[in-house]
Chains A and B, each alone.
Chain A
Amino acid sequence: MRFYEFESKRLFGKYGIPLPKGSKVAATPAEAKVVAAEINGPVVLKSQVLSGGRMKAGGVLFADNPDQAAEAAKKILALEINGHKPRGVLVEARAPIAQEYYVGVTWDGVARMPVMIFSDMGGIDIEEVAEKHPGHISKRHFSTLMPFSDFMAKELVAGVGLSGDHLNRLSRLAASLARIFQAHGLTLAEINPLARLDDGTFFCLDGHVDMEDDARDTQKGILKDLGIDPEEKRQARPPTSFEIKGAQVDAADPRGVAGNVVEFDGDLGLVIGAGGGSLTLFDAIRKHGGKPANYCEIGGNPSVSKTCELTKLILSKPGVKKIAVMMNVVSNTRVDIVARGVIKGVIESGQKPSEKIAIFRIPGSWEQEGFKILEHYGVEYCDRTVSMFEAAGRAVAKMKA
C-alpha cells in the first residue's frame, strides 16, 4: 500500500528525519493560506495524489505570500491527475538548495535481503543514475537477523566517495530510513530528493513509502497514528463499485477465494482461477480477440454459495452476454462444487445455464461428478484434453456467433 507524500513525511518525522519548515497538509484554500502565513515566506504547494507525473500535470505550484498560496491551493485541489482526486495539498517552506541526494531502502528479490541505495545525484530517476552514472550510486545489503548497525549506513554513503561532515549527517539519515523500513513492514522507503541547504543541514524534500499488505495487521498502531484507515485499499486506480462488491463477496464467506475482481468493459464475464491460471486465461481470451468484462481469481475450493454470488455479480454487470468458467487442472478446488456454484448463480439470475455459460473448462479433482451436473443442465464443458487456450477460443467464438 502506497503512502501519500504527507503520510510518508509524517512517518519519517517520527524518526527524527528533518522535514521542510511548516510541512502541513491542507484540505481547503483557506487552510493553505493559514499554513503559508505560519511559514511566513515563499512556499511550495504539492497535490497529494498517488499518481506519478504530478509536476508535469500542474500539481506542484509555488507562492510567495498567503494569498497566492490560497489561489494555488484552489487550482491544485480542483485538479484530477490520471483519474486520481488529490487527498489535500501539502504546503511547505521553499528554501534554496545546494545539492540533491537520493537514499532509499527496498527489497532485493535475488539476494533476498533488504538493500540500501544511495546517490549524490538526487531528484532524478534512480534507475537512470544506475545506468548512466554507476560511479554515483552505492548499494549495501543488510541482514534481517542481525540488528541494524550504523556502520552499515556509513559504508553505504562512503561508497560514492563522500567524507567529512556530510558523510556523518547523511549516514545518520540513511540509518534512520533503514530502521523505519525494518520496523514497519515496508517494501520501499525512499527520500528523493534528499536536499542539502547552503548551511550544511539536510532534509527530506519528497518521500515515498510502500507498505506490504501482509504486514498491515501488525502495523495497525502506526497506521492509526498516520490517520490511515486499516481497511483502505490503494490500487493503482480507485476501485469501481463492481470491484467493491466483488471484494464483499469474497469477504462474506471464508471458504475458499473469489478474489481480485477487477472490472473491464467487455461483454464476456469470467469466472476463472487460480492465480497463474487466471493470468494465462485472461491472455488467451485477449489473444482470441475476446473482450473480458472482468478479471477474477477463484481457488482454494470456494463454497457453492461463494461461486454463486460471484456469478450473480458478474451477470448483473451491464453488457455481460455470457460467462466463461475456466481453470487450470485443479487438485484442491473441486470441479463439481464450482459447477454447482456457477449453475446456481445463473439460475438465481433468472437465466438458463446452457445459454449463459459459454464454456466450462475445469478438469481435475471430482471432475466426473462435475461433468454429470454440467450434462444435466446442458452446459458445454471440456476435459483436460482441451487446452486452456482452446477453451478460451471456444468461448470467444460463441460470443461472435
Chain B
Amino acid sequence: MSLFIDVEVDASARSNADLVKKLVEVCPVNIFAASSGKLDIVDAHLDECTLCELCLNAAPPGSVKVKRLYGTKDVLVRQS
C-alpha cells in the first residue's frame, strides 16, 4: 500500500491500448505498466510520484487523477 499517492484511471482509459502505451511512456517513475494492452498500476512505485502531471496531460481530461493522501484535498486532474 502506498502512503502518499494514489492514482486513479477510469475504466475506458484503462483498456485503451494507445493511451496505456502513452502512460507507460511518460511516467518518469514507472507507475504505469501494461499487461496485454490493459493498464496496471504498480503499487510499489506510487510513492515515487513526482507530481509532474505528465500522465494527466497525456490522457483525456478527467480520466487520470493523482491524489495526495496527506491531508491535501485538491486532486491533480487535467481541467480541459
Direct contact of A and B (CB under 8 A): yes
How many Å from the CB of A219 to the closest CB on chain B?
35
Report yes or no: B4 in contact with A340, Cβ–Cβ below 8 A: yes
Report yes or no: B47 in contact with A304, Cβ–Cβ below 8 A: yes
- Tell me if A400 counts as interface (CB < 8 A to partner B): no
- Tell me if A344 counts as interface (CB < 8 A to partner B): yes
Instruction: List B33-49 residues whose CB lies under 8 Å from chain A.
Output: 47-48
Contact mask A191-231 → B, CB, 8 Å, 1/0? 00000000000000000000000000000000000000000
Q: A372-B70, A376-B71 are in contact. Are A305 and B51 (CB under 8 A)?
A: no
How many Å from the CB of B28 to the closest CB on chain A?
10
Q: A304-B48, A305-B48, A369-B51 are in contact. Are A344 and B70 (CB under 8 A)?
A: no
Interface centre among B48, B51, B70 (most CB of A within 10 A): B70
How many Å from the CB of A253 to the closest CB on chain B?
10
- Tell me if A347 counts as interface (CB < 8 A to partner B): yes
- Tell me if A343 counts as interface (CB < 8 A to partner B): yes
Contacts of B80 in A (CB 8 A): none
- Tell me if B11 counts as interface (CB < 8 A to partner A): no
- Expressed in whole angstroms, the Cα–Cα distance for A66 and B71 within the complex equals 78
Contact mask A339-350 → B, CB, 8 Å, 1/0? 010011001000
Which residue of chain B lies nearest to A303 when distances are taken between CB atoms in the complex? B48
Report yes or no: A347 in contact with B72, Cβ–Cβ below 8 A: no
Contact mask B60-80 → A, CB, 8 Å, 1/0? 000000001011100000000
On chain B, the number of residues with a Cβ less than 8 Å from chain A's Cβ atoms is 11
Contact mask A368-385 → B, CB, 8 Å, 1/0? 010011011100000000
- Expressed in whole angstroms, the Cα–Cα distance for A336 and B68 within the complex equals 12
Report yes or no: A344 in contact with B71, Cβ–Cβ below 8 A: no
Instruction: List B1-59 residues whose CB lies under 8 Å from chain A.
Output: 3-4, 29, 47-48, 50-51
- Tell me if A337 counts as interface (CB < 8 A to partner B): yes
Report yes or no: A340 in contact with B3, Cβ–Cβ below 8 A: yes
Report yes or no: A373 in contact with B48, Cβ–Cβ below 8 A: no
How many Å from the CB of B13 to the closest CB on chain A?
25
Which residue of chain A lies nearest to B3 when distances are taken between CB atoms in the complex? A344
Report yes or no: A343 in contact with B3, Cβ–Cβ below 8 A: yes
Contacts of A373 in B (CB 8 A): 4, 70
Contacts of B3 in A (CB 8 A): 340, 343-344, 347
- Expressed in whole angstroms, the Cα–Cα distance for A304 and B3 within the complex equals 11
Report yes or no: B48 in contact with A375, Cβ–Cβ below 8 A: no
- Can you list 20 A-B contacts with CB-CB less than 8 angstroms, sorted by A residue number? A303-B29, A303-B48, A304-B47, A305-B48, A336-B51, A337-B50, A340-B4, A343-B3, A344-B3, A344-B4, A344-B47, A347-B3, A372-B68, A372-B70, A372-B71, A372-B72, A373-B4, A376-B70, A376-B71, A377-B70
Please list the residues of chain A having a beta carbon within 8 angstroms of any beta carbon in chain B: 303-305, 334, 336-337, 340, 343-344, 347, 369, 372-373, 375-377
Q: A305-B47, A369-B51 are in contact. List 19 more A-B contacts (CB 8 A).
A: A303-B29, A303-B48, A304-B47, A304-B48, A305-B48, A336-B51, A337-B50, A340-B3, A340-B47, A343-B3, A344-B4, A372-B70, A372-B71, A372-B72, A373-B4, A373-B70, A375-B71, A376-B70, A376-B71
